[in-house]
Structure formats: structure tokens, C-alpha cells
Amino acid sequence: MAKAGSDGRRPAGRRRSAGRAAADPPTRGHGTIGRLAAGGIFGLYRLTGRLATPLVRAHLHRRARRGREEPGRLAERLGTASLERPAGLLVWLHAASVGEAVSCLALIDRLRAERPSLSVLLTTGTVTSARLMAERLPQGALHQYAPVDLPAAVENFLDHWRPDFALLVESELWPNLLIGAARRGVALGLVNGRMSAASYRAWRRFRPLIRHLLGRFSLVLAQSPRDRDRLEALGAVAPAFVGNLKFAAPPAWPGRPAAARRRT
């Protein structure tokens, strides 16, 4: 089970867990038929995830033996936190790997400068990004491994961390994470949004689901005009192009030779 909050109690009036949510919140720009189709696809996705849970656990252990997961932190990948949730407002940033995580550093600094009491949780999915963030995250920011997109793992993660706002970076469009957070009333944003040509073609085969997912975001900021147009064609509401966040990011490994960076 995920740990309780830092004060040992769940604050009054907090969001309900997904299992107790009465219904999905309405998705903007999504008709009844589209919602039903998306719900059917999502239901099948969740069922497949539940059935595949033992296989995913075994896969994580194989990755750990190969050095691609941290054995001591595998529980985080299944949604069990290794840290307490800080009291007060918590913003959750989710990035896939090193490049995306580094691009979040300037954003974290800006958020903390404007609101010093704010806590930031950054999740990533790779060992290298976790090690880098252990060196680079400022005070008031925490790192955890992202949960795999299985229903139980996501529910454990969200029940423990209870984020007030979530910013997903680039193309991290995981159905259980997105819909689970939306069911809890978490405000969602997509920053530095990216949609490659290959991903665009793939998602077009699942239009009801991707429209359902993108409609959960109240803020969509694309990293290029082409990405903005693709996201809008798939169902994002009023996406905007404001530039690429990576251009504002500091070097991933400052002061280290290029050869050393390549070996990491």
C-alpha cells in the first residue's frame, strides 16, 4: 500500500479515489458516441493491464537484473511511494527520461520562485534520469520513478501523492495516468507537447481514445507549430505554440566531458 500523507491523515475534502468516482468528468468537444467509444477502448485497455500485471512485474525484475531499473526502488514503479507527501500544494511534473527531465529544471525554478511554499514532484522512467535529478533538483523538489500504466499502480501513486496540478512533458499520454488524475479532479497540462508523424498516424487509428485523453488537458503547449497542428487534429482544445522548453534548459551534465556523458 502507498504511504499515508506526511501528517498521517488525508485532508478533509480531498479528491475521491478512482474506485469511488461516480463518473468520468465531461470531456470538452467530445460527443456521446465518441465518449462511449473511448470508454469501451479504455475499459479494454484497463482489463488488459490487470491481466498483464504479473507479466509486467516479471519484466521489471528482468530489467533490474540488467541494470535498467533500480532494484531498491522497484516498488515505486508499482505505485508504492518511498517518500512522504509534503504538506500543502503539490505540483507533479512527469517526464520520460534525461532530456525531458532537464527541460523541467527551469520550469521548476520558476514555479518555486513565484511560490516558495510550493512542493514539486518530478517523476521519470529511467535510471540515468533518476541519478541526474538526485544531483540537480532544487530544495522543495522530489523525485520518484513513474508508475507503470497499470490500474493498481496508478491508483496507489495518485492516492499517496494527491497532486493539485499535473504537467506532463512532451508525449507522455498514458491512459490510466491521465484518466485517473482527471477523475480525482487534478488540473492537467501538457507542456512542450510533441506528436511525431509516426505517433500521429498510430493515434489516428484510435481517434476516440486520443480525443478523450487530450480533452482532459486544460492547457496544451506544443513545442512547434507542426506539433500544435497534429495535437489539435487529434482533439486537443486550443493548443498553443510558445517555443521549445528544451532551449531554456541548462546542460544535462555541466562540466563533464562529452565522452563521459555518452557513457552515462
**Within a domain: residue 104?**
yes
User: For residues 57-66, b (16+ Cβ closer than 10 Å) or e, as one string?
Assistant: beebeebbee
**Within a domain: residue 109?**
yes
> How many domains does the structure of the chain reveal?
1
**Within a domain: residue 259?**
yes
The answer to whether residue 28 scores a pLDDT higher than 60 is no
Task: Name every residue whose Cβ is closer than 8 Å to that of residue 139 and which is 6 or more positions away in sequence.
Answer: none
* Residues facing residue 123 across a β-bridge: 94, 144
Q: How far is CA 35 from the centre of its chain?
A: 23
- Structural domain harbouring 108: 74-79+88-263
Q: Kindly state the average pLDDT of the residues 66-92.
A: 97
Q: Give the pLDDT score at 31.
A: 60
Q: Give the pLDDT score at 6.
A: 43
Query: Largest Cα–Cα distance in the chain?
Result: 56
| Segment 175-211, tens digit of pLDDT | 999 999 999 999 999 999 999 999 999 999 989 899 9
d(CA 41, CA 47): 10
CATH of the domain at 134: 3.40.50.11720
**Within a domain: residue 115?**
yes
Residues 93, 107 contacting (CB under 8 angstroms): yes
Active site residue 232: no
**Residue for grid cell 522543495:** 140
User: Any alpha helices (H) in 137-196, and if so which ranges?
Assistant: 151-161, 175-183
Q: Give the pLDDT score at 20.
A: 39
**Within a domain: residue 19?**
no
| Segment 151-174, tens digit of pLDDT | 999 999 999 999 999 999 999 999
**Within a domain: residue 151?**
yes
Residue of 100, 155, 170, 172 with catalytic role? 100
**Within a domain: residue 212?**
yes
Residues 202, 182 contacting (CB under 8 angstroms): no
**Within a domain: residue 10?**
no
The answer to whether residue 258 scores a pLDDT higher than 90 is no
* Residues facing residue 188 across a β-bridge: 166
d(CA 238, CA 95): 22
Q: How confident is the model at residue 4 (pLDDT cuts 50, 70, 90)?
A: very low
